[in-house]
Structure 1
């Protein structure tokens, strides 16, 4: 079996060598193919990728969905693994644990990893990752909507895997979008009677401590996405999960006496909310 790992890269020279080293060290019997789709960068990303990846090429116009789809077409593996340049495998079994459910006799056609915040992240970011990526598995399909709510279509291609045959059959990422291409794929999988596994045994380090300007832009894109796909998402309101997360953060930060982060939390969430509303209500 061949596993094709698809890695979009942009100014990623700092990340690439240690990441690829960790991938090559994974304990797995399958052959690994690493495909780097490198956007125009100001560092030496393309040359570094050409030296240590199996396939590397320059992307003229990056798009979160289309770029990944074009890389998937180039892949020779039966299993596609999508990652981002800023993850780090937690251990040597990340990949094995991620892909194993896909090759067993079941209806699982997509899986994604548990994300753990980097040790130097803020307490808030660590708590967000704990809330969104708990230490238990979730199998999500058309019958689990009421059980998991919005998390039924929660799917992150920061570290995910899917069967190439099913991916292409469902249209993959063959569309243009500014963000949340993974959610669209999750909707396709579930809408076609298949299952997605949130795989808590497959772990990566991944976290962001966004600056306010970046957070505003990101949530503006999310708002625009949710407006565009309002019909498809109507059964999966994010409002309930947002309230649960807020309560969890307030209680947890208070218990840990992180009052400075608690104050910043309200400012940060306000900026994200205004960004979201701006994107959602834009003409």
Structure 2
């Protein structure tokens, strides 16, 4: 079973060396390493080429979470394609092995993804989010789980996720021009075809973000836009199933347990920012584009969307 690793990059020199170093010690090494770089102005391309990766450079305006990954996956020689983001570090030498062995154990498994641990330097709140979203228990999910898990059934992260290429090809790879969630969107279609997704809790990576409160708001605004524009996901798989309340309770317990009492108020403000951003994102179609751009974390998507609309109006 051949393996291709695909890494989209842009100005990732600060983290890329650590990623490649952690990849080099894996017990299972890829048959090819592919880097798709959005015209970095730092040493990203040089670092990637030094590792022997096949580097493709694209214009930054061409980058799209779904389109870029689809193009790379189509070119990939591997039977398994493993997507990794540039700010990930593998923990230990068996991460890749844990992710891909599941494909030989169960033909129904079409995608696997790693457990994300707080990166060194993660804030207390960022650490809790990772521990909440990525528990220490492996889980296999199928379409039958949607009544029990709701939207979490299709939770998947392309920060470190492996797919059977043939299964991905059958669902048309990743959808183009999504503001967010190309991985979740693909997962929904893979499960709809009878596949299974495996969360591999033994495959550890460091990956977290110390978002500001404003960035939290904008990220959840984008999630709201995604859920509204792809409303079939909620209709098919249901809502969050109480995950929001569970997150709040878990967060307060975590902060109390770690004696970070002074951070509890900030945590509550962040939760409010996420909720407000998400609700506003669900109403994006009523907002002027100029405002939506300011509210969004993925501002380039709105500019590209406006360009596409202008192009359609002239045809």
- TM bucket, shorter chain: over 0.9
Residue number in structure 1 paired with 2:313:
none
CA deviation after TM superposition for structure 1 residue 240, in Å: 1.4
Q: Deviations over 1:93-150 (max 9, x none)?
A: 0000001001224311110011111232122222211111111111110112233333
Residue number in structure 1 paired with 2:181:
180
Distance 2:79 2:25 in 1: 20
Within a 5 Å distance, the mapping from 1:81-230 to structure 2 comes to 81-230=82-231
CA deviation after TM superposition for structure 1 residue 174, in Å: 4.2
Residue number in structure 2 paired with 1:41:
40
Q: Decide whether the 8 Å contact of 2:213 with 2:270 is kept in 1.
A: yes
Unaligned residue ranges in structure 2 (runs of 5+): 286-315
Distance 2:97 2:113 in 1: 12
User: Where has structure 1 moved over 3 Å in runs of 4 or more?
Assistant: none
Residue number in structure 2 paired with 1:267:
269
Residue number in structure 2 paired with 1:245:
247
Residue number in structure 2 paired with 1:13:
13
Cα distance, 1:15–1:174 mapped onto 2, change above 3 Å: same
Q: Decide whether the 8 Å contact of 1:141 with 1:193 is kept in 2.
A: yes
CA deviation after TM superposition for structure 1 residue 156, in Å: 0.7
Distance 1:261 1:272 in 2: 16
Please give the secondary structure, in 1, of the residue aligned with 2:137. Answer: coil
Unaligned residue ranges in structure 1 (runs of 5+): none
Distance 1:230 1:121 in 2: 33
Q: Decide whether the 8 Å contact of 1:189 with 1:195 is kept in 2.
A: yes
Q: Decide whether the 8 Å contact of 2:175 with 2:182 is kept in 1.
A: no
CA deviation after TM superposition for structure 1 residue 193, in Å: 0.8
Q: TM-score scaled by structure 2?
A: 0.85
Residue number in structure 2 paired with 1:56:
55
Residue number in structure 2 paired with 1:4:
4
Number of residue pairs matched by the alignment:
282
Distance 1:274 1:43 in 2: 36
Distance 1:146 1:18 in 2: 40
Single out whichever of 236-245 and 194-203 deviates more from structure 2: 236-245
Please give the secondary structure, in 2, of the residue aligned with 1:17. Answer: helix
